[in-house]
Amino acid sequence: MTAARHPDPDGMPVRLAPPAAGDVPRLRSDDLLALARACGADDGGLVSIDDPGVREERPFVLKAFPAARTLLVLVGRMHREAVRSPARSVANLEFHQSGHDLDAVARRIVRRLEDAGVRALNPAMAFPMEMDDFPERGWIVSHKRAAEAAGLGRMGLHRSLIHPRFGSFVLLNTVLLAAEVDALATPLDGNPCITCKLCVAACPVGALKPDGFFDFSACFNHNYQQFMGGFVNFVEDVAGSGSVAAYREKQSYAETVARWQSLAYGPSYNAAYCLAVCPAGEDVLGPYLADKAGHLRAVVDPLRERSEPVYVVRGSDAADHVARRFPHKRLRFVRQSARATSVKGFLSGMPLSFQPGRAGDLAAVYHFAFTGREAALATVTIRHRRIAVAEGHVGEPDLRITADGAQWVRFLNREAGLVRLIATGRLRLKGSPRLLAAFGRCFPA
């Protein structure tokens, strides 16, 4: 059978063997990776939909594209100096342009696969996403998980992928193929992360801890303040202000303009310092090892010394961190950007918003029993400044909490008072109420 020839954007022919009629197409891995490079990807890898490394992604991928058999993961390299710049407009432009370029690469690949009779789908590199259930999962596929499974890097202490050559200066995308391939990648044996902990030192809100703990809510509240959940808070501030003066007490002139810029030109990230300071990767590591002090002066110190607003929830670990480590930065107190809108969201979100510093010496087991449309049983254990959430009731609790699920969510969002819920029987406690207060301190809102 004669192979079909499909030119890349520059006219270079790329061969793809046409699929046999009636069969699931089976393609050569080398052909697909050559196609990815010809279409503009800096690197690529292939992983099966059945690979254990993408087990959590499988149901979401198949919901979007039931025919998916293989994931073609794409790597796009970013310009290092732009990401490192203290000028956020420069860094954001690099993120946006690199992301648009990678989306365009994926589209070119899909076009050529369709021309060869192979079905394929290209979800977005970042946005837009499926926001119907926000703040629950909105992405179709976690590009980072897929990239790890495809041998394109490992997640470092900063929770971003580190490519063995390009380091942290990469963006990722994934093309879903209704085809199988003759050879699949395997994960890297080692992690390019050198555990220098410069990401820990540079993070303005202390989201990254030396012991490896990641305070997701601290990162989310600051870095994503101009869009997503932060935008919801902004709209509520507008709706709740009876005058311009009242609005200005909640949102500064500069913050309002920044939100316009996010709407007009793409999301304005407030920080990507963990990526900027990372020295891992073959292309980056050499200069760092040759002059570590110079790297600190040129890359790390300008970000740490930058005067900027830092968005934190009052009473959070992040607020304490900024006051202690970055007194020259401007504390800006905000509401949580990720709110529970369901019992499921509350249970899945607890490990992400848990504040170990606020937990202190608390050691307690909580049994939750939710009634109503979202009936559920759960056990929450807080001990040694760590939290664990399990389905069902496990062990003996120190406090039992029985609540109507919908009313509990309203209570979390300060739409219903605790005393009234207890008085009307919609919330019942068995155990010391002090343990409920201690629980609440672990999740400042």
**What is the pLDDT at residue 2?**
35
The answer to whether the beta carbons of residues 329 and 322 sit under 8 Å apart is: yes
Mean pLDDT across the chain: 93
Q: Choose the CATH number for 4-181 among 3.30.420, 3.50.50, 3.40.109, 3.30.70.
A: 3.40.109
Arithmetic mean of pLDDT, 49-74: 97
CA atoms of 112 and 110, how far apart (whole Å): 5
Domain ranges for the chain: 4-181, 198-333, 343-441
13 pLDDT above the threshold of 80: no
Return the axis-axis angle of helices 29-38 and 88-115, rounded to nearest 10°: 130
CA atoms of 281 and 193, how far apart (whole Å): 8
**What is the pLDDT at residue 3?**
38
**What is the pLDDT at residue 5?**
38
Arithmetic mean of pLDDT, 193-207: 96
**What is the pLDDT at residue 14?**
52
Residue 27 φ/ψ, nearest 5 degrees: -115, 160
pLDDT band at 18 (very low <50, low <70, confident <90, very high): low
- Most confident among 133-142, 143-152, 208-217, 419-428 (mean pLDDT): 143-152
**What is the pLDDT at residue 128?**
93
Arithmetic mean of pLDDT, 374-387: 96
6 pLDDT above the threshold of 50: no
CA atoms of 43 and 37, how far apart (whole Å): 7
**What is the pLDDT at residue 346?**
94
The verdict on domain 343-441 having CATH code 3.40.50.10490 is no
**What is the pLDDT at residue 4?**
38
The answer to whether the beta carbons of residues 68 and 118 sit under 8 Å apart is: no
Would strands 170-177 and 70-77 be described as parallel, antiparallel, or unpaired? antiparallel
**What is the pLDDT at residue 22?**
57
